[in-house]
Amino acid sequence: SDSGSDSGSDDSSLSDSELQEAFARGALKPGLNLVLEERPKRRNDTAGLKQCLSEFRQELAWVERLDVTLGQVVDPISQSATDKDAVDPENDFQREMSFYRQAQAAVLEALPRLRKLQVPTRRPDDYFAEMAKSDQQMQKIRQKLKSKQEAMERSEKAKQLRAMRKYGKKVQTEILQRRQKEKKNMLNAVKKYQKGLSDKLDFLDEEQTLSHGNKKGSASQQIKKGPNAKRRYKNQKFGFGGKKKGSKWNTKESFNDVSSFRSKVAHNKGPGKAGKGGKKALNKRPGKRARQKMKSRAR
């Protein structure tokens, strides 16, 4: 067993040596074996960093940079400088208030410097900012919103109509059921009277009162209703109508009424008429033959 283990170790060592020789010759394919390289050591090259910083640093004026650096900010309530360690980072309100005071102090520090440099800090009244979207896009958005609103209005109207139809159908069903119930009660009362089980005729009185009440109700409805809008418009435009044919016919009263009769004017007996017993009309035009004779005489 010892000899077998020694031979196995020799084979493995031989195989490893062969692999190393093949790798050295470049006979092995890439990717199967990797050469481990030592990691570079990290170093803090301060001089090199400062040199790089001096190379890309630009000496610009403050108006081009607009940077403001402040220290501790005075709390307006306590009139004391706030310590950064006193602000609890887990407290959202304190953290946001510290940011707000820091920004406010920076603005108060920068505004006088900008005014001193004559840099405008307020937007003019006639300033118009350029829209991020074009007018065509905004018009499309308006049309879409309008179509949505119209669709919602149509849907609401349809809901109202459906509700009204349901209510009308419900009322109609109740009326039909009430009529059927009344009819059934009346038929039962009639059968009882025919069979001699009852000698009362109250159902007839109830029927008469109901019919009379319905007639009164319909008449009152007609009186209250009046003409519709179309009829009122036509009455206003053309008058109230009425009978046209035979409107000038004589009646018994108009035939007997002779108050408008004037005997002087009747039968050509009035002034300017040459009737019997009347005076000759003045300035009467001569006839055609008389005018011709007058012309021939003048010639």
User: What gap in Å lies between CA 68 and CA 111, rounded to an integer?
Assistant: 11
Q: pLDDT tens digit string along 233-254?
A: 887 777 766 666 777 788 888 8
User: What gap in Å lies between CA 70 and CA 99, rounded to an integer?
Assistant: 12
Three-state secondary structure readout of 24-40:
HHCCCCCCCCCCCCCCC
- Answer for the pair 277, 269: CB distance below 8 angstroms, yes or no: yes
Helix axes 202-225, 135-195, angle to 10 degrees: 150
User: What gap in Å lies between CA 149 and CA 155, rounded to an integer?
Assistant: 10
The reported pLDDT for the residue numbered 4 is 47
Q: What percent of the chain has pLDDT over 90?
A: 11
Return the number of other C-beta atoms located less than 10 Å from residue 101's C-beta.
16
Q: pLDDT tens digit string along 206-235?
A: 655 555 555 555 554 545 567 788 888 887
Which phi-psi region, left, alpha or beta, contains residue 118 (left: φ > 0; alpha: ψ -120 to 50)?
A: left
3-state helix, strand, coil in the chain (%, to 5): 60, 0, 40
Residue 285 tokens, joined: 């035009």
β-sheet bridge partners, residue 74? 81
Q: Of 2-16, 54-68, 171-185, 232-246, which range is least confident?
A: 2-16
Residue 265 tokens, joined: 């004017």
Q: pLDDT tens digit string along 261-270?
A: 877 777 666 5
pTM > 0.75: yes or no: no
Q: pLDDT tens digit string along 87-108?
A: 788 888 888 988 889 999 999 9
- Answer for the pair 280, 274: CB distance below 8 angstroms, yes or no: yes
